[in-house]
Structure 1
């Protein structure tokens, strides 16, 4: 059979290239083949770091007998959800509507017209725990297709009709105000876990967008409760097993509500978002723990996820080989007391076990433990000795088989990383982190952005895929470029952000101001996906609102400001009702309510006085503040008409381009910015 996946830029698809299953990539050829053979399409959607995707692949897709059944009765299509989030979103909506839950791997049976009629996620090879076996499912679908075609077509037609009717209607667009953010804060307080931090029960995901809202709300209003929830949650995550105590960076989620045992995959987007949260927490409180975690997370991204071309890889797998060679989730990260002693010796092994909560019973499988800091003061106890212990354990871990790496570059997630690294580098005076952000931005411009300012979503080894960028790509890359403009003072990044955001206005919005996840001229699926709520990353809708607002603050563009305000109407409707799921929209709303502030620092960039004013502006907690630095009438619009006072570098703090009295004193600038 033809190896149709061999030329893919997706490591996930390449993992399946040698399966006995005759996989097709998503595309018209697969559906034309299904029509020609008059068989259903079996759509399997997953991603490289997905543990249960690997399990189902090993149990079923690598099995010759199962593959023979799949090949005889179906056209089999494999999709990487990270490359095609639009395909994933449309069919996941159908799965959740039909079954009440979703997840990956996602398994959907389609007509040759792409209409879904039977759904599931992971199927075991044999019936288990109330789930049918996969071959049993295949046989049932085959029989239904052959003998009850009328019923299949009727079900598919009803599902598609229902999906197409699910257009988001919000009534009259209304800009959210302080009342909605206060109601959202009250709702979050009700769902807050006061014992462990975070929201809800197990499994527990890092609430990065909600934490950003809480920090911005505190900065604007002084609400101590918002800061308390953010700081306690961040602290408990940082001391938990979800955080890599040796190498930095966060795992995807915790399987328990105490943040102890993680699901071990490490995603670029989580770490980019959380790095920025901890930078902002440090900025608000001066917390040394927040500073350490922000820097270690930034260093993790640069060290472990940077690609040779300068971008950032998508993820590290949860699974790796244990001492016996078996692929085991978390094997790279967990320790037994005996292993600590083997590496450190008897005394230091005992100290490390107490410090990191490693016991004979273990917190994970087979008596192994995830390293954590069970005592709140554990981060500072025996600091010098613990630094040596950490270093030796880290060096020993490097000798273990490493988890696999999904090295495709996703535009949106790289945009998030660029913003985080630019801010961390500026705040902590680490120019190497800013340089890493610039290098990644250069890659996006060279490889992902074409001559018509259209983004490609993914690349690998410097080669762009054929997957068109979706709304979150345009929004998050623009956000990264805006952060670089504020940090570096280079107008080219503002220009690139403007090109991308003009594309958002032209091809992702409608007359009501609503946004869609795909462009108006993108491939037409059974439904044009549209979702303003956050998932693992900010929704494209509210991410676009934030980037449009920031660009308007830098340039004075009224069309971009108006588009941002109209898009935020969704927060007025959803913020008080489901604040956990629209945290990014609430964070952008805080910026809107604060202005956002516009800070122009006029002076020679090489003058230490200019640098002091610039850094003071970047350290401000004012929600969504934008910063421009450069000589009078420099290349950034905020500098137009600004002149140094008495020949000295000068800062102007403005809202809507109406400015306070200029100042040459960083202390006065702090007062003007409110913190």
Structure 2
């Protein structure tokens, strides 16, 4: 018999396991209470809907009735979608690192009924392979340890919990009561020269033969590339060259789908060949933002073409009928009744038309949509592409209507089956706020800046000492176990705290309120100083550190039509420390009425450009030449 409880799950990944003979439960206090009552360990299997090896382990092991019987008898089995519960995944990943450095998904974790990891691995095969035990052997060994060596199990669990706590403190993550931004007012932002020195080290680490960084597997690492573009905009030509070479290598490789412009998650070989074929919203959004930003400085290179291709993929493949973006497209498709990885993507256009495309992971994630909104706004402004900006606007409007309540983000993910019970993570709050702030600048619509301000004000407070506190709810199981890992360093996508800092920095420029700049600096300082040593994990913080270290300059271009040449000249001027807003006189009045001081008295002339330093503005420039002179002054 089966007591599988995933049939009503919102997550597409969980629902894909609803027919397994395994007695799956969803993550929550009830599953751990059951384990405590039965005195058995909890087996937690973490993956996501488009994960190839998750599919493989499901077919090999979770569909096996004999394995299901073992799990039913000796464990409480819990399925977790890492997209739905990134906090659980982050905590479990740190715990798993005590046992293997080859981390990834599926993540197979064994926990005590108190929610503490005591053993973990990733994919386990159905039969022993080259020294790797089979899944049934692992189950037997865990069962034996739980029954005969409980003291050892408890010691392991306590030690791993302590390691997760230490990692959380090092990462500066927020807990359920709110945590102070690491370093606080006493931690200084790194000097720009130290940040630019990181570029020299990255240039030395470049793969000069095939482009990019590292060997196999090779990832695009959009936050790192965007940092290089920002460093280049700050005057480092080497950084721009390095970013452009890497994007050119990606665009000319198997990692880019030549038919629809989408980018695959990573390449399994150093030369960017043999992709892992799943396509994630966050990778494509990050690369779109990078290519859009680079297009302002290298309009004759690969950047405009790459940006337009990715935007086309987002619009045609990942965009829903109501204007938001789903999480990913699968690596596998069904051909001749079999699930095959990559086969559909290797077809030409005619071949694809004859076959069903790989399915979509229909999660609508607030944070990942925030990344897409930001990217479309940046690229749309740089390339004067109204479709990109309209796609960003549609996604923002839908999320504002469905994922917020009273101005605060309350939903992390939703699907056509409804919202998930998992609460919003820091990335949902920060990345959505940053996307809205960027969209306000690209569209000229004050309501997006107002929404960003409300989200930031709800998430961050300054105490009596001026120290910033970020409050994000913690999962009750992790909180009780003391294993909430908080936010970890950025990897493939921009981190939530840096999104929050980016939004706060924009609000400081729009409002003239130094409180927002203090919030941004506090959130960035500690991570940016870490980034001087470990840029791969903190590239987003390094980019913001450059912006915050420069004197604030604001450029407001007031035009009757957005295609005015003065508007294009203003957008091209964007670099660290410089905010550029293009508005009509009516939009300037709306910003001013909403409390954004930068736009007060900016509605009388059009065309006109105001170049300001810390909100103190020069006389309006009425021509392109006058604007150029004012910018160079």
Q: Same fold (TM over 0.5)?
A: yes
Equivalent residues in 2 for 1:122-137 (5 A)? 122-137=123-138
Residues 527/228 of structure 1: CA separation in 2 closer, same or farther (3 Å cut) = same
Residues 673/247 of structure 1: CA separation in 2 closer, same or farther (3 Å cut) = farther
Which position in structure 1 is the counterpart of 2:179? none
Which position in structure 2 is the counterpart of 1:407? 362
Among candidates 507, 511, 519, match of residue 473 of structure 2: 519
What's the offset of the Cα at 1:462? Answer: 7.1
Which position in structure 1 is the counterpart of 2:343? 331
Deviation string 1:587-644 (CA, Å, 9 cap, x unpaired) is: 11222234443222335xxx23884433432333423624252425432414443346
Equivalent residues in 2 for 1:17-56 (5 A)? 17-56=18-57
CA contact (8 A) 1:651 1:663 kept: yes
For structure 2, the 5+ residue unaligned runs are 173-181
Residues 609/306 of structure 1: CA separation in 2 closer, same or farther (3 Å cut) = closer
CA contact (8 A) 1:188 1:580 kept: no
Which position in structure 1 is the counterpart of 2:70? 69
Between the aligned partners of 2:29 and 2:357, the Cα distance in structure 1 is: 38
Between the aligned partners of 1:670 and 1:522, the Cα distance in structure 2 is: 56
Which position in structure 2 is the counterpart of 1:213? 227
Between the aligned partners of 1:564 and 1:476, the Cα distance in structure 2 is: 14
Which position in structure 1 is the counterpart of 2:283? 270
Among candidates 553, 557, 566, match of residue 601 of structure 1: 557
Residues 37/277 of structure 1: CA separation in 2 closer, same or farther (3 Å cut) = same
Which position in structure 2 is the counterpart of 1:538? 494
CA contact (8 A) 2:293 2:378 kept: no
Is the counterpart of residue 199 in structure 1 residue 153 in structure 2? no
Which position in structure 2 is the counterpart of 1:586? 542
For structure 1, the 5+ residue unaligned runs are 336-392
Between the aligned partners of 1:457 and 1:12, the Cα distance in structure 2 is: 16
Residues 595/5 of structure 1: CA separation in 2 closer, same or farther (3 Å cut) = farther
Which position in structure 2 is the counterpart of 1:422? 377
What's the offset of the Cα at 1:581? Answer: 2.0
What's the offset of the Cα at 1:655? Answer: 2.9
Residues 597/520 of structure 1: CA separation in 2 closer, same or farther (3 Å cut) = farther
What's the offset of the Cα at 1:105? Answer: 0.5
Between the aligned partners of 2:43 and 2:589, the Cα distance in structure 1 is: 60
Is the counterpart of residue 666 in structure 1 residue 620 in structure 2? no
Q: Which moved more, 1:95-104 or 1:57-66?
A: 95-104
Which position in structure 2 is the counterpart of 1:380? none
CA contact (8 A) 2:558 2:584 kept: yes
CA contact (8 A) 1:110 1:116 kept: yes
User: Secondary structure in 2 aligned to 1:131?
Assistant: coil
Between the aligned partners of 2:45 and 2:294, the Cα distance in structure 1 is: 40
What's the offset of the Cα at 1:543? Answer: 2.3
Residues 651/269 of structure 1: CA separation in 2 closer, same or farther (3 Å cut) = same
Among candidates 605, 609, 612, match of residue 651 of structure 1: 609
CA contact (8 A) 1:600 1:628 kept: yes
Give RMSD over aligned pairs.
Answer: 2.5
What's the offset of the Cα at 1:36? Answer: 1.4
Which position in structure 2 is the counterpart of 1:181? 195
Residues 394/609 of structure 1: CA separation in 2 closer, same or farther (3 Å cut) = closer
Residues 245/136 of structure 1: CA separation in 2 closer, same or farther (3 Å cut) = same
Equivalent residues in 2 for 1:313-324 (5 A)? 313-322=326-335, 324=336
TM-score by length of 2: 0.91
Is the counterpart of residue 231 in structure 1 residue 185 in structure 2? no
Residues 87/274 of structure 1: CA separation in 2 closer, same or farther (3 Å cut) = same
Between the aligned partners of 2:574 and 2:199, the Cα distance in structure 1 is: 19
CA contact (8 A) 1:409 1:460 kept: yes
Q: Which moved more, 1:233-242 or 1:148-157?
A: 148-157
Is the counterpart of residue 281 in structure 1 residue 294 in structure 2? yes
Length, aligned pairs only: 611
Which position in structure 1 is the counterpart of 2:178? none
Residues 666/527 of structure 1: CA separation in 2 closer, same or farther (3 Å cut) = farther
What's the offset of the Cα at 1:509? Answer: 14
CA contact (8 A) 1:176 1:568 kept: no
User: Secondary structure in 2 aligned to 1:576?
Assistant: helix
Between the aligned partners of 1:199 and 1:509, the Cα distance in structure 2 is: 44
CA contact (8 A) 1:508 1:515 kept: no
Which position in structure 2 is the counterpart of 1:352? none
Residues 474/655 of structure 1: CA separation in 2 closer, same or farther (3 Å cut) = farther
Residues 455/395 of structure 1: CA separation in 2 closer, same or farther (3 Å cut) = farther
Between the aligned partners of 1:508 and 1:442, the Cα distance in structure 2 is: 32
What's the offset of the Cα at 1:476? Answer: 0.8
Residues 38/188 of structure 1: CA separation in 2 closer, same or farther (3 Å cut) = same
Residues 668/49 of structure 1: CA separation in 2 closer, same or farther (3 Å cut) = farther
Residues 468/204 of structure 1: CA separation in 2 closer, same or farther (3 Å cut) = same
User: Secondary structure in 2 aligned to 1:66?
Assistant: helix
Between the aligned partners of 2:524 and 2:204, the Cα distance in structure 1 is: 24
User: Secondary structure in 1 aligned to 2:131?
Assistant: coil
What's the offset of the Cα at 1:37? Answer: 1.2
TM-score by length of 1: 0.86
Higher RCO (C-alpha 8 Å, min separation 6): 2
CA contact (8 A) 1:180 1:572 kept: no
CA contact (8 A) 1:622 1:674 kept: no
CA contact (8 A) 1:532 1:541 kept: no
Among candidates 563, 569, 578, match of residue 525 of structure 2: 569
Between the aligned partners of 1:462 and 1:57, the Cα distance in structure 2 is: 23
Equivalent residues in 2 for 1:220-619 (5 A)? 220-221=234-235, 223-322=236-335, 324-334=336-346, 393-451=348-406, 453-461=408-416, 463-506=418-461, 513=468, 518-519=472-473, 524-525=478-479, 526-531=482-487, 533-603=489-559, 607-608=560-561, 611-619=564-572
Between the aligned partners of 1:492 and 1:443, the Cα distance in structure 2 is: 14
What's the offset of the Cα at 1:507? Answer: 11
User: Secondary structure in 2 aligned to 1:187?
Assistant: helix
